Every structure is written in structure tokens, then in C-alpha cells.
Chain A
Amino acid sequence: ETGVTQSPTHLIKTRGQQVTLRCSSQSGHNTVSWYQQALGQGPQFIFQYYREEENGRGNFPPRFSGLQFPNYSSELNVNALELDDSALYLCASSAPGLDSQETQYFGPGTRLLVL
């Protein structure tokens, strides 16, 4: 077990709704990254938070937003849900080292289905 937890495990929403997914990072990790994984694809990087600030973003529209809290837990918010947002959402925590070999540890994910 990595010590990274996510909630909820499964979620069903309808088009146009909003969703908030949550992640608790591994103890000692100050960085959280979020990914979207569609069926049969590799995870796609959404964004990363480091010490409560966004620290890198992939090619996702602004309706994907996030927060990181002082305890380093994080939220992913998605507004105006679309059918294509149905996917496994993964959170990964890490603690960047001096040599930049940043290893990420993943939580079990949240499966989102948009109807």
C-alpha cells in the first residue's frame, strides 16, 4: 500500500453537473499530481500541486481545477461534465528530491461515469 487514499471510489454524474474528487497524500509528501485515465489508455497528466500552488498543467481545459490544502491533501474539481470525462481519476503524491528523480505513488483512483 502506498498510503495515498482517494474518495469516493466510484461516482455517477450526469452531463453538465460538477464533481469534486479528493486525495490524501502519503505522509511526508508535499506534492500531488492528478491524472485522467480513459479505458485502454495511459494516464493523462492534468496538473500538479506543490505547497498549495499549481506547479505544472497538462492539456486540460479550465473547467478542470484543483486545490491543495496546508496538510497537502488535494481536490480535483470538474465543472460542466461531459460524457468524455468518464474515466479513472488517479492522484499521485511525491516528495521531490534534490536530484529530480521524483517518484510518484498512486492512490487507487476514483471511477467517474458521466451519463
Chain B
Amino acid sequence: RKEVEQDPGPFNVPEGATVAFNCTYSNSASQSFFWYRQDCRKEPKLLMSVYSSGNEDGRFTAQLNRASQYISLLIRDSKLSDSATYLCVVNNFNKFYFGSGTKLNVKP
């Protein structure tokens, strides 16, 4: 079983839509969680850390459910510039596990 699993998508949505991604992780002792964004042929860039209480950054909201071992990312009012691959990341005692990414295409 993979450490981190994500739906690969692609998610094709119109501008202005709300879209949600989920990610599950296998190790209940995982310590910290992140969402990264990766554009085609570029390096991953940190989008946001994910805290147990949930956190919001503008149009982006991240949630962590430790009991069910899943992490979510909600994007509201999608922009064309949100088109990218979104990577879920889990830290297990200094080993960082990435999901394979969920591809988002936002269309005009």
C-alpha cells in the first residue's frame, strides 16, 4: 500500500468553480502535512501547510482528519492560473512522502 494516495484526475472545471481534492495516508503516526503545487516541468512549490484545526489562505482551504487519515484541499472561485498538479505531502519522522498528484485544468 502506498504511503500517500491521491486521485490523479484530471479535474476539468470552468473558471469560478469550486473544486475539492482528497488525499489519504497510511501511517497514523504521521507528523505534518502539506499541499504543494507543481506546474508542468517545474519544481513543486509550497501551497500551504495543513493543521489539525484546518486552515485557510484566501481561496484555498485545507483540512486534516487524523481519525480517518485524510487531507483535503478546497479551491474556491477557480482561476485559469490555478491549473497545475496538486501534490499531497506527509512527513513521517523526517521521511517525506508525496502523492502522485491530482491534475487540475481550469477552463475559460
Contacts and interface: CB of A to CB of B under 8 A. Distances in A.
Chains A and B bind each other = yes
Interface of A: 2, 33, 35, 40-45, 48, 50, 55-58, 90, 100-109
Given A101-B32, A103-B46, A105-B46, A56 B100 contact: no
Contacts of B97: 45
B49 interface: yes
A42 B102 CA distance: 10
Given A101-B49, A106-B43, A48 B94 contact: yes
Interface of B: 4, 6, 31-32, 34, 42-46, 49, 87, 91, 93-101
B92 to A, nearest CB: 9
A88 to B, nearest CB: 8
Given A101-B32, A103-B34, A44 B45 contact: no
B98 A56 contact: no
Nearest to B97: A45
A42 B45 CA distance: 13
Contact of B46 (A43, A100, A104): A104
Contact of B87 (A42, A103, A109): A42
A7 to B, nearest CB: 14
Nearest to B31: A100
